[in-house]
Structure 1
Protein backbone atom coordinates (compact mmCIF):
# COMPACT_ATOMS: atom_id res chain seq x y z
CA UNK A 1 0.00 0.00 0.00
CA UNK A 2 1.24 3.48 -0.88
CA UNK A 3 0.63 6.42 1.44
CA UNK A 4 1.84 9.94 2.05
CA UNK A 5 4.28 9.85 4.96
CA UNK A 6 6.22 12.32 7.08
CA UNK A 7 9.83 13.33 6.58
CA UNK A 8 10.70 11.43 9.77
CA UNK A 9 9.29 8.24 8.20
CA UNK A 10 11.82 8.48 5.34
CA UNK A 11 14.98 8.86 7.38
CA UNK A 12 15.73 5.28 8.45
CA UNK A 13 15.74 4.03 4.85
CA UNK A 14 17.63 7.07 3.57
CA UNK A 15 20.32 6.42 6.18
CA UNK A 16 20.52 2.68 5.54
CA UNK A 17 20.37 2.68 1.74
CA UNK A 18 21.65 6.06 0.56
CA UNK A 19 24.02 7.32 3.24
CA UNK A 20 25.83 4.24 4.59
CA UNK A 21 24.36 4.50 8.07
CA UNK A 22 24.82 8.24 8.54
CA UNK A 23 22.81 9.51 11.53
CA UNK A 24 19.21 10.05 10.44
CA UNK A 25 19.19 13.77 11.22
CA UNK A 26 22.09 14.20 8.77
CA UNK A 27 19.93 12.69 6.00
CA UNK A 28 17.59 15.69 5.91
CA UNK A 29 17.70 17.99 2.87
CA UNK A 30 16.72 21.65 3.43
CA UNK A 31 13.93 21.32 0.82
CA UNK A 32 12.37 18.45 2.83
CA UNK A 33 10.79 21.05 5.08
CA UNK A 34 9.16 23.18 2.36
CA UNK A 35 5.34 23.08 2.24
CA UNK A 36 5.16 21.89 -1.39
CA UNK A 37 7.49 18.93 -0.73
CA UNK A 38 5.83 15.56 -0.23
CA UNK A 39 7.01 12.11 0.84
CA UNK A 40 5.56 8.74 -0.18
CA UNK A 41 6.07 5.33 1.34
CA UNK A 42 5.33 1.79 0.23
CA UNK A 43 4.06 -0.39 3.08
CA UNK A 44 4.37 -4.18 2.92
CA UNK A 45 1.86 -6.72 4.24
CA UNK A 46 3.23 -6.27 7.78
CA UNK A 47 2.59 -2.49 7.52
CA UNK A 48 6.35 -1.74 7.45
CA UNK A 49 7.72 0.98 5.20
CA UNK A 50 9.97 -0.79 2.69
CA UNK A 51 10.40 1.94 0.06
CA UNK A 52 10.38 5.75 0.27
CA UNK A 53 10.76 8.76 -1.97
CA UNK A 54 10.55 12.52 -1.69
CA UNK A 55 9.36 15.01 -4.32
CA UNK A 56 10.27 18.66 -4.07
CA UNK A 57 9.30 21.57 -6.27
CA UNK A 58 12.51 22.58 -8.03
CA UNK A 59 12.90 23.86 -11.56
CA UNK A 60 15.88 22.85 -13.68
CA UNK A 61 17.67 25.23 -16.08
CA UNK A 62 17.54 22.64 -18.89
CA UNK A 63 13.76 22.23 -18.63
CA UNK A 64 11.42 24.86 -20.09
CA UNK A 65 8.64 24.71 -17.48
CA UNK A 66 7.88 24.20 -13.81
CA UNK A 67 9.26 20.92 -12.46
CA UNK A 68 9.55 18.69 -9.43
CA UNK A 69 12.67 16.85 -8.36
CA UNK A 70 12.88 13.32 -6.98
CA UNK A 71 15.07 12.96 -3.90
CA UNK A 72 15.86 10.23 -1.42
CA UNK A 73 14.34 7.23 -3.18
CA UNK A 74 15.35 4.14 -1.22
CA UNK A 75 14.19 0.52 -0.98
CA UNK A 76 15.10 -1.73 1.92
CA UNK A 77 17.59 -4.40 0.74
CA UNK A 78 15.18 -7.21 1.72
CA UNK A 79 12.41 -5.67 -0.42
CA UNK A 80 14.28 -5.16 -3.68
CA UNK A 81 13.22 -6.63 -7.02
CA UNK A 82 9.59 -6.99 -5.95
CA UNK A 83 8.22 -4.04 -7.95
CA UNK A 84 7.67 -1.78 -4.94
CA UNK A 85 9.94 1.02 -6.16
CA UNK A 86 8.28 1.06 -9.58
CA UNK A 87 4.80 1.21 -8.04
CA UNK A 88 5.88 4.00 -5.71
CA UNK A 89 7.53 6.01 -8.48
CA UNK A 90 4.48 5.62 -10.74
CA UNK A 91 2.24 6.81 -7.88
CA UNK A 92 4.42 9.91 -7.46
CA UNK A 93 4.29 10.57 -11.21
CA UNK A 94 0.51 10.19 -11.22
CA UNK A 95 0.18 12.64 -8.31
CA UNK A 96 2.47 15.18 -10.00
CA UNK A 97 0.64 14.90 -13.30
CA UNK A 98 -3.00 14.56 -12.23
CA UNK A 99 -3.15 16.54 -8.97
CA UNK A 100 -0.38 19.13 -9.28
CA UNK A 101 -0.31 19.46 -13.11
CA UNK A 102 3.49 19.44 -13.19
CA UNK A 103 4.94 18.90 -16.69
CA UNK A 104 8.46 17.67 -15.77
CA UNK A 105 10.02 15.38 -13.19
CA UNK A 106 13.82 15.21 -12.83
CA UNK A 107 16.58 13.97 -10.53
CA UNK A 108 20.20 12.90 -10.22
CA UNK A 109 20.25 9.14 -10.74
CA UNK A 110 22.86 6.90 -9.19
CA UNK A 111 24.79 4.75 -11.65
CA UNK A 112 23.38 1.53 -10.19
CA UNK A 113 19.81 2.75 -10.83
CA UNK A 114 20.16 3.88 -14.48
CA UNK A 115 18.46 0.73 -15.90
CA UNK A 116 15.56 1.03 -13.45
CA UNK A 117 14.81 4.63 -14.37
CA UNK A 118 15.20 3.91 -18.09
CA UNK A 119 12.61 1.13 -17.72
CA UNK A 120 10.10 3.67 -16.38
CA UNK A 121 10.69 6.03 -19.31
CA UNK A 122 13.17 8.53 -17.93
CA UNK A 123 15.78 10.04 -20.26
CA UNK A 124 19.27 11.38 -19.64
CA UNK A 125 19.99 15.09 -19.78
CA UNK A 126 23.63 15.14 -18.66
CA UNK A 127 26.88 13.29 -18.92
CA UNK A 128 27.98 11.30 -15.90
CA UNK A 129 29.34 13.30 -12.95
CA UNK A 130 30.56 12.39 -9.48
CA UNK A 131 28.96 13.43 -6.22
CA UNK A 132 31.76 13.21 -3.65
CA UNK A 133 31.22 10.46 -1.12
CA UNK A 134 28.25 9.04 -3.04
CA UNK A 135 29.49 8.21 -6.54
CA UNK A 136 28.64 8.52 -10.26
CA UNK A 137 25.33 10.08 -11.31
CA UNK A 138 23.51 11.40 -14.38
CA UNK A 139 20.67 13.89 -14.52
CA UNK A 140 17.48 12.28 -15.79
CA UNK A 141 14.01 13.64 -16.58
CA UNK A 142 10.56 12.66 -17.80
CA UNK A 143 7.92 14.72 -19.54
CA UNK A 144 4.68 14.03 -17.71
Structure 2
Protein backbone atom coordinates (compact mmCIF):
# COMPACT_ATOMS: atom_id res chain seq x y z
CA UNK A 1 0.00 0.00 0.00
CA UNK A 2 1.22 3.51 -0.86
CA UNK A 3 0.87 6.31 1.67
CA UNK A 4 2.20 9.78 2.33
CA UNK A 5 4.82 9.54 5.09
CA UNK A 6 6.70 11.91 7.38
CA UNK A 7 10.27 12.98 6.48
CA UNK A 8 11.78 11.08 9.41
CA UNK A 9 10.26 7.83 8.13
CA UNK A 10 12.51 8.06 5.05
CA UNK A 11 15.75 8.19 7.02
CA UNK A 12 16.41 4.49 7.74
CA UNK A 13 16.12 3.51 4.07
CA UNK A 14 18.06 6.56 2.91
CA UNK A 15 20.87 5.62 5.28
CA UNK A 16 20.87 1.93 4.34
CA UNK A 17 20.45 2.20 0.57
CA UNK A 18 21.68 5.64 -0.48
CA UNK A 19 24.27 6.77 2.05
CA UNK A 20 26.24 3.63 2.98
CA UNK A 21 25.08 3.56 6.60
CA UNK A 22 25.57 7.26 7.30
CA UNK A 23 23.88 8.22 10.58
CA UNK A 24 20.17 8.80 9.93
CA UNK A 25 20.21 12.38 11.18
CA UNK A 26 22.73 13.18 8.42
CA UNK A 27 20.36 11.82 5.74
CA UNK A 28 17.82 14.63 6.09
CA UNK A 29 17.63 16.81 2.97
CA UNK A 30 17.48 20.59 3.16
CA UNK A 31 14.02 20.69 1.56
CA UNK A 32 12.49 17.77 3.50
CA UNK A 33 10.50 19.95 5.88
CA UNK A 34 9.17 22.52 3.40
CA UNK A 35 5.39 22.55 2.94
CA UNK A 36 5.77 22.01 -0.83
CA UNK A 37 7.77 18.79 -0.32
CA UNK A 38 6.05 15.43 -0.06
CA UNK A 39 7.24 11.94 0.83
CA UNK A 40 5.66 8.66 -0.26
CA UNK A 41 6.22 5.17 1.07
CA UNK A 42 5.32 1.69 -0.09
CA UNK A 43 4.28 -0.63 2.72
CA UNK A 44 4.33 -4.39 2.19
CA UNK A 45 1.72 -6.89 3.40
CA UNK A 46 3.32 -6.83 6.88
CA UNK A 47 2.97 -3.02 7.03
CA UNK A 48 6.75 -2.61 6.73
CA UNK A 49 8.03 0.46 4.87
CA UNK A 50 10.06 -1.05 2.03
CA UNK A 51 10.32 1.71 -0.59
CA UNK A 52 10.45 5.50 -0.31
CA UNK A 53 10.74 8.65 -2.37
CA UNK A 54 10.71 12.39 -1.83
CA UNK A 55 9.52 15.06 -4.27
CA UNK A 56 10.43 18.69 -3.72
CA UNK A 57 9.50 21.80 -5.62
CA UNK A 58 12.70 22.77 -7.37
CA UNK A 59 12.97 24.23 -10.84
CA UNK A 60 15.77 23.24 -13.17
CA UNK A 61 17.49 25.69 -15.49
CA UNK A 62 17.09 23.37 -18.48
CA UNK A 63 13.33 22.87 -18.02
CA UNK A 64 10.32 25.17 -18.16
CA UNK A 65 8.80 26.02 -14.80
CA UNK A 66 7.23 24.77 -12.61
CA UNK A 67 9.09 21.53 -11.93
CA UNK A 68 9.60 19.12 -9.06
CA UNK A 69 12.71 17.16 -8.22
CA UNK A 70 12.76 13.52 -7.16
CA UNK A 71 15.18 12.77 -4.33
CA UNK A 72 15.98 9.89 -2.07
CA UNK A 73 14.23 7.07 -3.90
CA UNK A 74 15.22 3.81 -2.24
CA UNK A 75 13.99 0.24 -1.96
CA UNK A 76 15.08 -2.11 0.81
CA UNK A 77 17.48 -4.71 -0.68
CA UNK A 78 15.20 -7.58 0.39
CA UNK A 79 12.28 -6.10 -1.57
CA UNK A 80 13.81 -5.20 -4.92
CA UNK A 81 12.50 -6.37 -8.28
CA UNK A 82 8.90 -6.65 -7.07
CA UNK A 83 7.58 -3.56 -8.87
CA UNK A 84 7.22 -1.47 -5.70
CA UNK A 85 9.47 1.36 -6.91
CA UNK A 86 7.61 1.68 -10.22
CA UNK A 87 4.25 1.76 -8.41
CA UNK A 88 5.54 4.37 -5.98
CA UNK A 89 7.03 6.59 -8.69
CA UNK A 90 3.86 6.36 -10.78
CA UNK A 91 1.82 7.40 -7.71
CA UNK A 92 4.10 10.41 -7.25
CA UNK A 93 3.73 11.35 -10.93
CA UNK A 94 -0.05 11.05 -10.67
CA UNK A 95 -0.05 13.33 -7.59
CA UNK A 96 2.18 15.88 -9.34
CA UNK A 97 -0.04 15.97 -12.44
CA UNK A 98 -3.48 15.88 -10.86
CA UNK A 99 -3.05 17.64 -7.52
CA UNK A 100 -0.16 20.04 -8.09
CA UNK A 101 -0.42 20.73 -11.84
CA UNK A 102 3.31 20.17 -12.37
CA UNK A 103 4.68 19.60 -15.88
CA UNK A 104 8.14 18.14 -15.22
CA UNK A 105 9.88 15.81 -12.80
CA UNK A 106 13.68 15.74 -12.80
CA UNK A 107 16.46 14.20 -10.72
CA UNK A 108 20.04 12.97 -10.60
CA UNK A 109 19.98 9.24 -11.37
CA UNK A 110 22.63 6.76 -10.30
CA UNK A 111 24.09 4.73 -13.17
CA UNK A 112 22.77 1.49 -11.69
CA UNK A 113 19.21 2.89 -11.91
CA UNK A 114 19.36 4.12 -15.53
CA UNK A 115 17.48 1.09 -16.97
CA UNK A 116 14.71 1.42 -14.36
CA UNK A 117 14.08 5.09 -15.13
CA UNK A 118 14.36 4.55 -18.89
CA UNK A 119 11.69 1.84 -18.66
CA UNK A 120 9.34 4.43 -17.13
CA UNK A 121 9.90 6.94 -19.93
CA UNK A 122 12.49 9.23 -18.36
CA UNK A 123 15.09 10.85 -20.60
CA UNK A 124 18.65 12.07 -20.08
CA UNK A 125 19.53 15.74 -20.02
CA UNK A 126 23.19 15.62 -19.02
CA UNK A 127 26.38 13.70 -19.49
CA UNK A 128 27.56 11.51 -16.65
CA UNK A 129 29.05 13.30 -13.64
CA UNK A 130 30.34 12.20 -10.25
CA UNK A 131 28.84 13.13 -6.89
CA UNK A 132 31.72 12.74 -4.42
CA UNK A 133 31.18 9.90 -1.99
CA UNK A 134 28.09 8.66 -3.85
CA UNK A 135 29.23 7.94 -7.41
CA UNK A 136 28.36 8.54 -11.07
CA UNK A 137 25.01 10.07 -12.05
CA UNK A 138 23.17 11.68 -14.96
CA UNK A 139 20.36 14.22 -14.86
CA UNK A 140 17.06 12.77 -16.07
CA UNK A 141 13.57 14.19 -16.58
CA UNK A 142 10.09 13.38 -17.74
CA UNK A 143 7.33 15.54 -19.13
CA UNK A 144 4.26 14.72 -17.10
Same fold judged by TM-score > 0.5? yes
CA RMSD in angstroms comes to 0.4
Q: Deviation digits for residues 33-77 of structure 1, max 9, x if unmatched?
A: 111000000000000000000000000000012100000000000
Instruction: Please give the secondary structure, in 2, of the residue aligned with 1:78.
Output: helix
1:23 partnered with 2:30: no
Q: Write the mapping of 1:61-100 to structure 2, written as runs, cut at 5 A.
A: 61-100=61-100
Q: Which runs of 4+ in 1 moved over 3 A?
A: none
Q: Deviation digits for residues 8-35 of structure 1, max 9, x if unmatched?
A: 1100000000000000000011111111
Count of residue pairs the alignment pairs up: 144
Q: Write the mapping of 1:100-139 to structure 2, written as runs, cut at 5 A.
A: 100-139=100-139
| Whole-angstrom distance in 1 between the partners of 2:28 and 2:3 | 20
What 5-or-longer segments of structure 2 have no aligned partner?
none
1:6 maps to what in 2? 6
| Whole-angstrom distance in 2 between the partners of 1:29 and 1:52 | 14
Structure 1-normalised TM-score?
0.99
What 5-or-longer segments of structure 1 have no aligned partner?
none
| Whole-angstrom distance in 2 between the partners of 1:59 and 1:65 | 6
| Whole-angstrom distance in 2 between the partners of 1:33 and 1:45 | 28
